[in-house]
Chains A and B, each alone.
Chain A
């Protein structure tokens, strides 16, 4: 009986999150509260159990990276790089788009996707304004690039952080397994941009002078802070790459980096906490308690056994289903609660396969499907929603179907290539 009630409470909260009838934080906290009222969850289960409790590694990794971004943002480095890169293209529209989407993808691999598009969108609008270009194709391309680039690393997209923590996967595991395919996907994506946005590339030589007149050095707000931040960021990246060898969790690397930046920058709390999205962190906590309750009552375990029996040793089939299924679901619902729910199931499948070379790629199928599937629709990823909001505020509305027309093509092509990659690399 308690299992049925737990599942019912979970589904009800999930529906509220997916339909956004109430704020997702309120929905997740209500779901978590229901689990407590049902007696499934107590303090031990919610806060201290590694298997059923809040994943503090995820929470503190996110917090640390948000603080790092808050400090980096104060330096003006993103504006500098984007203007500098646009000027190198001497105003050629397609080259400008290539530069901007490449910067977006690289930044998204190192930072949160939403933060990246928030930083790149204003400077994109400025560059397009200078060149008298329609900014919408550039903004859509950047949202899509941020979702692709974010797939490359452990810290690039929140679902990857959850997958890493659940699967015990290191920063280098992501770099070795996902970064190569993301590089290929970016090359293909740039080719797609050439075709999809071909009507946007009208070159006006008279406007080039307006672009070249931009002075990127003026946007650096604090040169000393920029140098210090750069040094700390490099140290943090080295820490991520070496975290397995150093036996230190990525969350602690991020927190140490954040602490160092706070100490060196001498910024006030409102400044170094500016980019910390407290609602997102609380949402994660509520979500972990909800999923932990399903684990606690044994529902996830039984589902895992059923799946294990159904999959057997047909891991290519399982990877295919996971990749495409995750992509379809992530196109319509938030990929964070989706991955938080599915990750324990994938963990069961991978453990049943003894962590073999055939079973472990299930994690990569999940990451690729959930991260890239968000490109399919205007509401599939937070970065898409944010870009559409910025465009509207600047007098360039992007309708749901306008975005989805381009996003769905990019999603289908990138996921199809990802399937080919999984098959070729792990199952042949």
Chain B
């Protein structure tokens, strides 16, 4: 199967998109990340959810996660408000290495897609045709194709 058969429509943002809007889109649609395109609508990079968290959570809490336990919900809200004053550009890593962009051509095979995801440890890849983004493939969509008929596993009981 080719990438064009697996691709799904995907929200596309630019570096100037409001960071809060981007994060809310990710949360509302339960997406692992978003595709960032430049002004010419060419893929620029992927914004994974983990980058949003890295922006929200100060480095000192990342160094010492146990310290976060001392903070209450008001403090958490205060941290999240940092998104309102920011754009997607602020969330992206400072040095953009375009060679590292998780992008595949629409003709790529499913194993090619898997290889790119594995190499770049990306939860999704953008699919392009004629240099235009036509959507994305998430890791769950890819695994669903590679490993059909997955058994239903028992879930942890809710408390």
| A binding-site residues for B, Cβ under 8 Å | 76, 79, 83, 121-123, 125-126, 129-130, 210, 213-216, 218-219, 221, 390, 393-395
How far does the Cβ of A221 sit from chain B's closest Cβ, in whole Å? 6
Residues of chain B within 8 A of A123, CB atoms compared:
60, 64, 67
Instruction: Check if A216 sits within 8 Å of B70, measured CB to CB.
Output: yes
Instruction: Check if A122 sits within 8 Å of B74, measured CB to CB.
Output: no
Inter-chain CA distance A393–B60, complex, in Å, is: 8
How far does the Cβ of A331 sit from chain B's closest Cβ, in whole Å? 28
Among A79, A210, A218, A395, which residue has its beta carbon within 8 angstroms of that of B64?
A79
Instruction: Check if B58 sits within 8 Å of A213, measured CB to CB.
Output: no
Instruction: Check if A213 sits within 8 Å of B72, measured CB to CB.
Output: yes
Residues of chain B within 8 A of A218, CB atoms compared:
69-70
How far does the Cβ of A133 sit from chain B's closest Cβ, in whole Å? 14
How far does the Cβ of B34 sit from chain A's closest Cβ, in whole Å? 24
How far does the Cβ of B102 sit from chain A's closest Cβ, in whole Å? 26
Among B58, B59, B66, B78, which residue has its beta carbon within 8 angstroms of that of A219?
B66
Instruction: Check if A219 sits within 8 Å of B60, measured CB to CB.
Output: no
Instruction: Check if B58 sits within 8 Å of A221, measured CB to CB.
Output: no
**Interface size of B as a range:** 10 to 19
- B143 contacts partner chain A, Cβ-Cβ < 8 Å: no
Known: A213-B72, A215-B72. Contact between A393 and B66, CB under 8 A?
no
A-B contact pairs, 7 of them (CB 8 A): A76-B66, A122-B60, A126-B70, A213-B75, A215-B69, A394-B59, A395-B59
Inter-chain CA distance A218–B74, complex, in Å, is: 16
Chain B 46-69 per-residue mask, 1 if CB under 8 angstroms from chain A, else 0 = 000000000000111101101101
- B158 contacts partner chain A, Cβ-Cβ < 8 Å: no
Residues of chain B within 8 A of A129, CB atoms compared:
58, 60
Residues of chain B within 8 A of A83, CB atoms compared:
70
Instruction: Check if A393 sits within 8 Å of B59, measured CB to CB.
Output: yes
Instruction: Check if B75 sits within 8 Å of A394, measured CB to CB.
Output: no
| B residues 126-144 touching A (CB-CB < 8 Å) | none
How far does the Cβ of A312 sit from chain B's closest Cβ, in whole Å? 53
Q: Which chain B residue has the least Cβ–Cβ distance from A213? A: B72
How far does the Cβ of B150 sit from chain A's closest Cβ, in whole Å? 33
Instruction: Check if A122 sits within 8 Å of B61, measured CB to CB.
Output: yes
Inter-chain CA distance A395–B59, complex, in Å, is: 9
How far does the Cβ of B93 sit from chain A's closest Cβ, in whole Å? 14
- B71 contacts partner chain A, Cβ-Cβ < 8 Å: yes
Instruction: Check if A122 sits within 8 Å of B67, measured CB to CB.
Output: yes
Residues of chain A within 8 A of B74, CB atoms compared:
210, 213
Chain B 66-102 per-residue mask, 1 if CB under 8 angstroms from chain A, else 0 = 1101111011001000000000000000000000000
Known: A210-B75, A213-B74. Contact between A79 and B67, CB under 8 A?
yes
Inter-chain CA distance A219–B66, complex, in Å, is: 6
Inter-chain CA distance A211–B66, complex, in Å, is: 17
Q: 7 nearest interchain CB pairs?
A: A125-B60, A218-B69, A122-B60, A122-B64, A394-B59, A214-B70, A393-B59
How far does the Cβ of A274 sit from chain B's closest Cβ, in whole Å? 13
Q: Which chain B residue has the least Cβ–Cβ distance from A74? A: B66
Which of B66, B70, B71 neighbours the largest number of chain A CB atoms within 10 Å of its CB? Answer: B70
How far does the Cβ of B31 sit from chain A's closest Cβ, in whole Å? 28
Inter-chain CA distance A107–B61, complex, in Å, is: 21
Residues of chain A within 8 A of B72, CB atoms compared:
213, 215
Residues of chain B within 8 A of A121, CB atoms compared:
60
Q: Which chain B residue has the least Cβ–Cβ distance from A210? A: B75
Instruction: Check if A394 sits within 8 Å of B71, measured CB to CB.
Output: no
